[in-house]
Amino acid sequence: MDYVLNNHGLQAVDLSVKNVITSNSFDSFFETVDNRNNAGVSVTPNSAMTYSSVFEAVQIISGDVARIDLDIFEPDGEDRLKRPRHPAYKLMNRKASSYMSGYAFRETLQAHALLWGNGYAEIVFDNVGRPKELIILDPSSVTPELVDGELIYKVHSSTERNKYTVLPAYRIFHVRGLGFNGIQGFSVVSLARDSWGLGMAAERHGARHFKQGARPNVVLKHPAYLDPDQAEELVESFQSKHSGTDGVGRPALAAGGLEIVPLSMSNTDSQWLESREFQRIEVASWFALPPHKLGDSSRMAYNSIEAEERAYASQTLMRWFERWESEVDCKLLTDRQFGADWFSEHAVERLVQGDSETQVDTIVKLRNAMVITQNEARHKLNYASVTDGDTFLNPSTYSADNEEPDDSPEEPEEEEEDNEVVEQVENLLAARLLQLENTYKKQMGNLSGKEEKIAAFQETFAGKILDAVLPIVDLLATCKKTQSPGEEAVLENVKDWMNGKNDLLLEGLV
């Protein structure tokens, strides 16, 4: 028998392996059996998803994990061969079961792991022992236990808790978060119950305030005494003229000594709004998310956001990728494949592929360095293969006459406009403009009502747009054999668009 010190004093508890690893003992050890917290709000995985910050955090991480392909590789000497026909590849990326796609499966299981700390799925094998389906299980109904050194999973009935089915470890695909024994992850909802409960309580307080509050926006002060009928008539007359969409901004006439006194926001209301902003940062910290992903603009800057995005990819997502990959290696590869060092790996290059301009620039550099072939470069841009496109060469130094690098200067030749190249550059510019427009609108929405910050942001972002689009505009002008509009014209057009003079960015300029 062991002893632990908690809020009720020194208590004797059985901390044997069998007891410690069950979910019930976990909750009792941390005294979280009661779903309520110090804020008086019941916090469960389901109720937590009604809290917007938690929902957005779970949605972002789950979606990012699910959208990255998980490939299966076979070692081949110093090389490795991708095996897209492997059953595990199809389950992860194509179809997990008869009713669920691979994307939906991974997104759902990842959401379970984020909230419950554990995501469980039953592995269904075919007659020759190959995995053919993955069936998601309710994480609250599954309990892992060690029995005589062997890991088993109890899958409890949804109707009768004391009835359960025992499945061996190889039959359960288990994605676990950080845990205390390596067998089961911490229930994040249990650990964050007080933190999230405070935010949910503030949200409910705001809802009740607007539903039940009797605080008016203005007070009408009259120097003379008004009986109840006269006062009611005055209020109704004022309200009929200045309420609703038609009354917004309509001038008010204060005659006969009437004084209209607006009521400003109280310090209590202001602190409530500040606490709401703090809670977004608090939720982000529980999921290791950059705060700007949950709408916090307090640390918003172009360079800092770029650094936080890299940290999000390398720290938050890569940790989950490793957990998924290790589980796939252990549960969905055969013993022979596992022994021969087959492995799974996420296509993480999609996380750092950048915008369209950066992608094209990276591909060109890889092609010139003879790291990839022409066809491999075309495939990355979703273009079909071409004849003789599988050779490694540098197009800027290669000479077709003698197949040797040709460093001799050549007289420039007149070339006709390549419609295909022009179309590609136009598509690149259009994609870049759309991305910038969406980013601008999102940030302006975050800064709504903050006029000083809006002006500073517009000035900074106008320069960013200029740096991003001017090289493409110059390239497009070169391809079309026309004069580039120049830096001043582009910057003026950008500012006109920000001020609402142009409906579209660079409208009428290119």
Over the stretch 99-125, which tens digit does the pLDDT of each residue have?
999 999 999 999 999 999 999 999 999
Distances from the Cα of 388 to the Cα of 59, 63, 393, 487, angstroms: 45, 39, 11, 41
Pair (446, 471) in one structural domain? yes
**Looking at per-residue confidence, does 309 or 133 come out higher?**
133
pLDDT band at 376 (very low <50, low <70, confident <90, very high): confident
Pair (432, 474) in one structural domain? yes
Pair (498, 448) in one structural domain? yes
Domain boundary among 344, 376, 405: 405
In the block, residue with structure tokens 């009259």:
222
Pair (401, 444) in one structural domain? no
Q: Residue range 304-312: average pLDDT?
A: 76
The per-residue pLDDT for range 142-179, each reduced to its tens digit, is 999 998 889 999 999 888 778 889 999 999 999 999 88
User: In this structure, are residues 470 and 495 in contact, taking their beta carbons and an 8 Å threshold?
Assistant: no
pLDDT at 181 over 70: yes
Pair (446, 482) in one structural domain? yes
How many Å apart are CA 144 and CA 162, to the nearest integer? 15
Q: Which SS3 state, helix, strand or coil, does residue 480 take?
A: helix
- Domain for residue 18, yes or no? yes
Pair (400, 428) in one structural domain? no
- Domain for residue 499, yes or no? yes
- Domain for residue 318, yes or no? no
Pair (459, 385) in one structural domain? no
The per-residue pLDDT for range 22-32, each reduced to its tens digit, is 334 334 333 34
Pair (394, 475) in one structural domain? no
Q: Which amino acid is at 135?
A: I
Among the ranges given (131-145, 221-235, 440-454), the one the predictor scored with the smallest mean pLDDT? 221-235
- Domain for residue 391, yes or no? yes
Please give the backbone phi and psi of residue 67, each rounded to the nearest 5 degrees, phi first. Answer: -80, -10
**Looking at per-residue confidence, does 147 or 367 come out higher?**
147
pLDDT at 484 over 60: yes
Q: What confidence score (pLDDT) does residue 179 get? A: 86
Q: What confidence score (pLDDT) does residue 216 get? A: 61
Pair (425, 476) in one structural domain? yes
Q: Where are the alpha helices (DSSP H) in 243-355?
A: 244-247, 267-286, 302-311, 318-331, 335-339
- Domain for residue 323, yes or no? no
Domain boundary among 356, 375, 405: 405
**Looking at per-residue confidence, does 72 or 311 come out higher?**
72
- The share of the chain scoring above pLDDT 90, in percent, equals 23
Sequence-separated contacts (24+) of 75-82 with Cβ below 8 Å: 75/340, 75/341, 75/342, 75/343
- Domain for residue 162, yes or no? no
**Could you tell me which residues are beta bridge partners of residue 134?**
123
Distances from the Cα of 364 to the Cα of 352, 359, 361, 386, 417, angstroms: 16, 9, 5, 17, 21
Q: Which SS3 state, helix, strand or coil, does residue 447 take?
A: coil
Count up the domains in the chain and report the number: 3
Pair (447, 384) in one structural domain? no
Residue 5 structural domain: 1-33
- Domain for residue 96, yes or no? no
How many Å apart are CA 362 and CA 373, to the nearest integer? 13
Q: What confidence score (pLDDT) does residue 450 get? A: 82
The per-residue pLDDT for range 377-407, each reduced to its tens digit, is 777 766 778 877 777 766 666 655 545 554 5
Pair (386, 438) in one structural domain? no
Pair (446, 498) in one structural domain? yes
The per-residue pLDDT for range 438-483, each reduced to its tens digit, is 888 888 888 887 888 888 888 888 888 888 888 888 887 888 788 8
Q: Residue range 486-505: average pLDDT?
A: 82
pLDDT at 212 over 80: no
- Domain for residue 495, yes or no? yes
